Homo-oligomer: A and B are copies of this chain.
Amino acid sequence: MVLRVALHLEPFDPLVALAAWQRHREQDVSPQAPWARAAAEAHFIGRVRSLSANGEPLAALELEHYPGMTEAQIERLAAAVLARHGLAHALVEHRVGRALPGEALVLVAVGADRRGPAQRGCQELLEALKHDAPFWKREWCGADGRWLEGNTPL
């Protein structure tokens, strides 16, 4: 079981993050490596919308977090999902600070030996992040900032 959690203060490219993660697979070729049994990978990428929750054009989305606790809490959530589904590996990268429409907010990638656990693990880890990792979003439309309370529906 391999786990990586990273927060980004600046824009990040999820495909670059996935490529870095994939290099671990290519470098660790022992048959016992968690990578060797992970024939199935599920990813999720969430980006900043172009409209606010109220339907106005969004200038930016601000993401506040709790430095230290946020990272530790994501690791606890990911370890629980990894154990529950017998996953081989998981990667969580999350943006913090001020992000622009279209920029990546969150990347979740998990690997497992079969597609079912990979897909379910990826979904559960994303829901856990949304509900149980300390992040707070503020939408900026022009000069007005409005804190969101809760998440968009599934």
Contact = CB atoms under 8 A, between A and B. Distances in A.
A114 B119 CA distance: 16
Interface stretch (A4-12, A15-23, A70-78, A137-145): A15-23
B15 A46 contact: no
Interface string A5-48: 00000000001001100100100000100001111111111111
A43 B40 contact: no
B40 A44 contact: yes
Interface in A76-95: none
A80 B22 CA distance: 32
Interface residue tally of chain A, by bracket? Answer: 20 to 34
Contact of A116 (B39, B118, B122, B154): B154
> In the complex this chain forms, how many copies of it are found?
2
Given A114-B152, A114-B153, A39 B48 contact: yes
B42 A44 contact: yes
Contact of A43 (B42, B48, B49): B42
27 contacts: A15-B15, A18-B18, A36-B50, A39-B47, A39-B48, A39-B49, A40-B44, A40-B45, A40-B46, A40-B47, A41-B45, A41-B46, A42-B42, A42-B43, A42-B122, A43-B43, A43-B44, A43-B45, A44-B115, A44-B118, A44-B119, A114-B152, A114-B154, A115-B126, A115-B152, A115-B154, A119-B122
